[in-house]
């Protein structure tokens, strides 16, 4: 009877051992299979058929994103005479409370490293992220931190946190980060709010000045364009008049050359015609008068020609 019981127990244990050789690997999971301590496979989702229980070990690993929250906790009680968690000193010796969330996932190419280090992954990532936060904040002034922190800090956290944990061989990759809280301490928040409002007013005035500058520049460009167009029109008009004068001169020159053959004194006639026009203009301007004004006891005195007063 006892022998039969032993046989049944052994059979049951063998059956259970054989059943445990079948291990389902669900979607979103990976597995690391070891036999006598040596890694023999890293199967993907599906049904793994291995050796009976006790001969191999299977560690299932989730490859979904995990999150570590570091820094300030607004719901935690602040300890007396101690710096609250997540409160950092800025480069210009101010204080800010910062909370960041770091999302990471298992690096499938380093599953074995993760299996070996998974118990310390969260702690190492948290400490590394806090160190990166402290460095970034200490290198900047509080105004820049409050204004640019939400936009600039996440990418910096992802890159530098990953660099800091490389030597630990945790088998993970940092994928995302976001800053969920970035404010000055409660004790000085009112003062910072007042400064923020003043800075907003300054930015408003600056924007109005830039807008006015843009309008002035636009008006100047329009005036410059108009002046340029007027100058081009004037140039075209002067060129047209000059071409007309040149054309008239060429025609008179041709006429002179033709008439000079019959009348050698034709050039003198042209000369006196032009001089008559010049004398007329000089007379109108008061620069020419009759010679009677220059007759004296000794005859005609033309050694000087004082300008005649202009007619009003």
Across residues 281-294, what is the average pLDDT? 67
Q: Quick check: 54 pLDDT over 70?
A: no
Q: Cβ(181)–Cβ(97) under 8 Å? A: yes
User: Which pTM does this prediction carry?
Assistant: 0.56
Q: Quick check: 248 pLDDT over 80?
A: yes
pLDDT band at 27 (very low <50, low <70, confident <90, very high): confident
Instruction: List the end-to-end C-alpha distance of the chain, in Å, as a whole number.
Output: 156
Give the CA-trace dihedral at 86, 89, 95, 99, to 10 degrees. Answer: -30
User: Can you give the pLDDT at residue 4?
Assistant: 67
Round the average pLDDT of the chain to a whole number and report it: 80
Residue among 55, 153, 173, 168 nearest 107 (CA): 173
Distance CA 91, CA 223 (A): 49
DSSP E strand stretches across the chain: 22-25, 29-35, 38-41, 46-49, 57-62, 66-71, 87-89, 95-106, 172-183, 295-296, 299-300
Distance CA 205, CA 158 (A): 37
User: Can you give the pLDDT at residue 152?
Assistant: 93
Distance CA 59, CA 25 (A): 10
Sign of torsion, CA 67 70 73 79?
A: positive
For residue 294, the 8-state DSSP code is: G
Q: Quick check: 83 pLDDT over 90?
A: no
Q: Quick check: 175 pLDDT over 60?
A: yes
User: Can you give the pLDDT at residue 252?
Assistant: 77
């Amino acid at each position: 009877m006892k022998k039969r019981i032993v046989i049944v127990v052994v059979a049951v244990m063998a059956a259970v051992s054989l059943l445990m050789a079948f291990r389902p690997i669900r979607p979103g999971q990976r597995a690391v299979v070891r036999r006598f301590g040596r890694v023999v496979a890293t199967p993907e989702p599906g049904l793994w058929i291995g050796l009976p229980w006790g001969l191999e070990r299977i560690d299932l690993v989730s490859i979904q994103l995990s999150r570590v929250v570091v820094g300030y906790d607004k719901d935690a009680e602040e300890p007396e005479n101690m710096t609250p968690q997540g409160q950092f000193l800025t480069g210009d010796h101010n204080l800010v409370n910062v909370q960041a969330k770091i999302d990471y996932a298992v690096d499938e190419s380093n599953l074995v490293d993760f299996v070996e280090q998974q118990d310390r992954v969260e702690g190492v990532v948290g400490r590394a992220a806090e160190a990166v936060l402290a460095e970034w904040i200490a290198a900047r002034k509080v105004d820049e931190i409050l204004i640019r922190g939400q936009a600039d800090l996440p990418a910096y956290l992802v890159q530098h946190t990953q660099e800091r944990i490389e030597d630990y061989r945790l088998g993970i990759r940092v994928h995302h980060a976001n800053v969920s809280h970035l404010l000055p301490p409660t004790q000085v928040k009112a003062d910072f709010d007042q400064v923020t409002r003043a800075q907003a007013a300054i930015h408003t005035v600056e924007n109005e000045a830039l807008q006015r500058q843009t309008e002035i520049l636009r008006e100047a460009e329009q005036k410059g364009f108009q002046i340029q167009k007027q100058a081009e029109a004037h140039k075209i008009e002067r060129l047209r008049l000059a071409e007309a004068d040149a054309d008239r001169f060429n025609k008179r020159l041709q006429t002179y050359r033709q008439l000079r053959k019959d009348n050698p004194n034709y050039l003198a006639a042209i000369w006196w015609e032009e001089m008559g026009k010049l004398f007329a203009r000089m007379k109108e301007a008061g620069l020419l008068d009759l010679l009677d004004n220059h007759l004296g006891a000794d005859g005609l005195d033309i050694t000087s020609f004082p300008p005649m007063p202009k007619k009003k």
